[in-house]
Structure 1
């Protein structure tokens, strides 16, 4: 009962959804002529929508329309002729619709049609007299029952709605185009010979889209970028399918480092520059922080635990490059060592704050590669995030004064028998001096323990944690 033996897979159907199909099925076999007429009306609508119906639906329409004829308006001879034509058409559809045409009897046996029905067709086609109206009507009623067994009932168990999600389709096209752009971009950067079959497929795609022949790889890159821009205009969110293509070891995370004069490493300048147009496009469309969060996932998520250190470092370097570019947006004189981003219509303030909070609440050794850039990101804003203030202070203290383990004291270090710690012997007028005096004697203070009058310095510190223990000075305590 397939649409055609030459077609496989999904086909266009005339019913609105599976509920409409089931309603028609229910009405056909209810032994209620009013419901059968409703089913017939819908079957005719299906015929208008799609003139070439599946065999099961077409056969049902032929037989049901014949059975619902008003016999009062036709003579028996006229009805017999109409029944004969309907039965002949139904049997031809059901038993003779085959690529390999054989005898009708063999095909009917294969389709489990009874021999008496085959003989009835033979009498209609070759006999001098049309079979009796009773036999013809019995044949049509059997055919409707046979269709229920062979088409309607089996289909009712498997039929389901198939919706075409336009957004998903655009996302798939976007991901495929993005993958083509990345592959070609990397190949051109590495001066590799691009696979000829791959180039031909790209040519075919671009020719179909632009109606012109494009052969030069660099022109292909530009056209793919224009195509990406068109797709990005049609979506509201850059999904993981697209981000996975971009943030991969075949694209941005391909290990391309260069050594700097100061002994550090950075992304190879030329490799960074070949991605500038794409990164600028994503920035214009409002997806910069979606990309930053995906790059940060590579650093902190267990999903990427199989990535090598160089891959994670590459992700951290890209975060650093993008953050530097964001900080340079308001500058007129931008260095060639910075990715040049054009100002976007989208306000990234809230996303920047969320990303900042996510980074500051994490604990990863890769933060050192982009921490400075993160702290500079909002320096021109009127207010700073509290976490940023704490991190800046901790970072500044760490750089100016190295606090060793020997200078961090606990309550176990307190000697209650030390007379120098008795409060009535001490004068707290000068807590920063090397000595503490009273009226009777001079006492050399150890400065391990001092009475704190202003407790505001503990604001924001977790219970039991001192200010010098937060941030980078104590790697086992995260800022919260």
Structure 2
């Protein structure tokens, strides 16, 4: 089956550019032209209709920019007519050139335009613009609008409705059928010690079909739901046994890693997904499923295992560690921060152990203190529940390595709280100083190397009583007529001079 290379990643992307180009919003049109420029960098040549649509709308946007900059003059009028005329001449030439190549009999442009349902007055305008004088600005803008309408009907809408309608309208059904065909061919290849060339060729044809499907549909929610149905990427009991995998052993063993033969079975398909840059989308959706409680234990185990496999291989590829046994041969940008935040919101055995692995491997996403604190909290959380066995069989947790004893918050508070002894308990307070200090050099209310934590000055002697009430400052005059301040409590008899 032949595969047509397209510049757009998905059908949705093509539709979005089409809608933006034919909107009345010049900002959206400008954004669409930028996306078409990206398309040009992906393949040597874009379809004729897309190239000419971009040229015509680009001329219209240039016209709008010039009109907002200032009034129209003769020089500007000539500049816009040349710009429009060049785009129109190229449009008519490109549309009719394809027909000239297909028809060996020599035909003039008029007859070709008639067969293509192209307005003949556009051919006349193109001839005048090429060999005579450029039309007026009003006439040439009318011709641009007519050309864009023609391109909309015969290029964009035709592309949207091309090929097999069942392929687009019922893509989940087609995708499911193609996945079944892939599984059949892959079983035949794996079961035969020396797979025939015909079987490999048939499998490659199926992979090409899957590639074409995903290029158009993308990993949409509908496609992802089909992929994660039981019997496809999430193997059922019969399929696991066919691959010599015991489901009970898979559930009972420690670790999130999947059996090697199961990963090998789906490796070609996952490589297609990775080549189309859909691996981050698949990983995010798998994390959503891991956080959910709507699956059977076997399904949940397989989903977590596939997520662990994808994350591990993506990390290896990002570290430029390429090996024939690894899934991916090129790096990709994974949403590590999003995956970590997504997992810690739902504390479960699978999610928390996935977070532990990501924290150990991804050292650049969090600061060291944050990462260490989060690792310790998750390890404590897992240690408090006997059902949370260590799921990372290749990397034991710190608890098992160092035999650390963990305490609850209540236990820590109880250990830190002192024994109650009313006789020795005194609150932090001021005391009479016996040191030789020149207090005149100290500001009022401040003691060297003492942090003031009170709004009012307070004084306590050795006979402090807990019933001490509010303190207040009392001004007095000394023998020299100077005012001094003292502190007095409501139940004290004497005053201390500061």
Scaled by the length of structure 1, what TM-score is found? 0.40
Scaled by the length of structure 2, what TM-score is found? 0.39
